[in-house]
Amino acid sequence: MQGFYIFSYAHRFKEAHRRLGALIANGNLVYNEDVLEGVEQLPAGLIRVLSGENFGTQLVRLS
């Protein structure tokens, strides 16, 4: 396994945004968001991230 430091590629962010945006728009790249509703869910959102209960990106929508 090998990782990378994303800011080493900062000069290519615009290219990545364009290419990834096109993939998302045509359905070839999909992603998951786990959304909780309301500020009162902030602690639960953090707990879900730390315990691994969330799927995809954990978000809390502040209404």
Domain ranges of the chain: 6-61
| pTM recorded for the entire structure | 0.61
Q: Write out pLDDT tens, residues 10-63.
A: 999 999 999 999 999 999 999 999 999 999 999 999 999 999 999 999 999 997
Q: What is the dihedral of CA 8, 13, 19, 20, to 10 degrees?
A: 80
Distances (CA, A) of 51 to 4, 12, 32: 25, 34, 18
